[in-house]
A and B are shown apart, each in its own frame.
Chain A
Amino acid sequence: MHPAFSVIFLTTLIGVGQGLFLALFTGQSYSAVKLLPAATSAEFYSIGGIIALVFLIGGLIASFFHLGHPERAWRAAAMWRTSWLSREVIALPTVMGLLFVYSLMHYFNWDMVLFTSAGGVELSLSLIVGILGMLATFALFLCTGMIYACLKFLQEWHSPLTVINYTLLGTASGFVLATAFATYTAPGLLKFFGIWSIVITLTALITRAASLIRNRNIKYKSSPQTAIGVRHKNVKQIAMGMMGGSVNTRDFNHHMSALFLKSIKWIFIVMVFIIPTILIWNGIDTADRSILFTAFIIQYIGLIAERWFFFAQANHPQNIYYQTV
């Protein structure tokens, strides 16, 4: 497939936003059940929430560049019964709305304890909004992943690993950003977020590697024989019916060399998983803000490469019809 940068930025930016929100909410729920010191400032949640919202808005803006008619984008919520894209169009503003409310509640300290359990655990209103936000965030990850995973003839994508990788990679980048951000407002949580960042990044390495191995061994179901319905082991296209090219020759190909594709693969493996893990490990020891932000930036650039590779690697069966000019 042709990797469109609008979609690459959409999926990576909202991934950071969703992951950052999950990190904030994880921090809050750990302190609610007193596994973490509750001394974290309200600014950590409110400013952090606004930063996550900015990433989501950035992703939303990027997505408009993908559309031929952005002014009609409101129509895209109509077919939520059948289309994962439509479901994403509903889930994204839902996450944004809940995130906005969550940030406001922390900023203005609009909160109240709904009830206190026997062990002294307080269930507050902001925690309820946070739980709703978390559910919406996971629903958004599911929708984004399923947009690709539901296309059964794009065999590289048609796997649960697609959804798992979207979720884990987005969450990892958000947690890395939360670690760097914690140096400003919640230094006590630095180690907590740092360790989680490493754990999620390495889990994502395992699932992404699993999908790379799966895709290397893929057996394609379609062939020139099934495409034109002639039973002979030698079926070769000698003309695609045009010389100028069309959408079919532009939109479904990355038009890069196999070597380029292979190098992008190794670049993203190093930049998304290996370098950030090492940098965070150093960064949480020294509490060095610049190292942690470098880790986030390197991982984000790596994620752009990862998403480029994700699209470029998928082989659409329609390409069988467009082999030779």
Chain B
Amino acid sequence: MTQLALVIDLNVCVGCHACVTSCKEWNTSGTAGSMADENPYDKDPTGTFFNRVQTYEVGEFPLTETVHFPKSCLHCEDPPCVPVCPTGASYKREEDGIVLVDYDKCIGCRYCSWACPYGAREIDEKQKVMKKCTLCVDRIYDEALPEEERKPACVLACPTSARLFGDVHDSESDISVTIREEGGYQLMPEWGTKPSNHYLPRRKTRMHIHDDELERADNPLNKEQRKPHGPIDAPTLDDSTSW
């Protein structure tokens, strides 16, 4: 079975919102109709989005770190929003695991948005139906597009390649290997929703320099008492501390 999903690398995301605008552009221009904006150029603008980039501060000043955190539908393997739908408009596709809403069946009761702990669903205030990330289902199978472009709009837009797209059930796929080897994790694991989208943690690259790397511990000259120079902290000609 296939389960398409995204992997989002928090170590790389710079919080530029390119995925947000690209998502909105692709999905508002699609055959499913526009994603309504109310008062877009006026007081109190508001609108429907499938993807947001949020920013968090971790730590206590001055030891803080800024984490940019893109959030869209996680296409859970056990999606709590699907069984509560009274009409069957919300469904999870057998063939690729994408969670979708049939806009022609949705009655706009909002119950599925109550049943999503991640706040991934937004009602379209004009069309009065529930909408959510489709993983660009109208794009990833489009054979009119060159193969390398058959990916969600957000993935193509990301300038730092923080978003990866693939099948998490195929254990040899690029994203499965990444999840496995780079410590990919799921959001709010406490609810048992088994999100398909994974996040990669912040990973620090640190240089560890041990004393014996500065001063050679097994230097034979130590025993032979024939060191050409004085102690290690004494100045040398070329500032080398290779003794």
Contact = CB atoms under 8 A, between A and B. Distances in A.
Query: Do A and B interact with each other, yes or no?
Result: yes
Contacts of A84: 84
Interface stretch (B54-62, B136-144, B158-166, B213-221): B54-62
A226 B187 contact: yes
A12 B183 CA distance: 50
B56 A230 contact: yes
Given A221-B190, A235-B58, A317-B188, A247 B122 contact: yes
Given A89-B86, A237-B56, A75 B188 contact: no
A156 to B, nearest CB: 13
Interface string A215-242: 0000001101011111010111111111
A199 interface: no
Interface in B74-116: 80, 82-89, 105-111, 113-116
A300 interface: no
Interface residues on B, range: 35 or more
**Chain A interface size, under 10 / 10 to 19 / 20 to 34 / 35 or more:** 35 or more
A10 to B, nearest CB: 11
Interface string A252-267: 1000000000000000
Contacts of A221: 190-191
A86 B86 contact: yes
B191 A83 contact: no
A78 B83 CA distance: 11
Contact of B108 (A69, A86, A151, A235): A69
Contact of B122 (A66, A228, A237, A246): A246
B71 interface: yes
B30 interface: no
Contacts of A150: 84
A67 B185 contact: no
Nearest to B129: A68
Interface string A142-170: 00000100111110000000000000000
B189 A226 contact: yes
A85 interface: yes
Contacts of A66: 109-110
Contacts of B82: 82
B76 to A, nearest CB: 12
A227 B58 contact: no
B74 to A, nearest CB: 12
Nearest to A241: B52
Contact of B107 (A76, A82, A248, A319): A76
A191 B154 CA distance: 69
A245 B86 contact: no
Interface in B1-28: 17, 20
Interface string B189-220: 11100000001011000000000000000000
Given A79-B85, A318-B119, A67 B107 contact: yes
A246 B107 contact: no
Interface in A188-235: 221-222, 224, 226-230, 232, 234-235
A153 B69 contact: no
Given A83-B84, A150-B84, A229-B185, A244 B45 contact: yes
Given A227-B187, A237-B55, 11 more contacts: A77-B86, A82-B83, A85-B109, A234-B60, A238-B57, A244-B45, A244-B47, A247-B48, A247-B113, A318-B119, A321-B71
13 contacts: A67-B108, A67-B109, A68-B106, A69-B129, A82-B82, A147-B111, A222-B188, A229-B187, A230-B58, A241-B17, A244-B47, A248-B122, A317-B191
Interface of B: 17, 20, 44-49, 52-60, 66-67, 69, 71, 80, 82-89, 105-111, 113-119, 122-123, 125, 127-129, 185-191, 199, 201-202
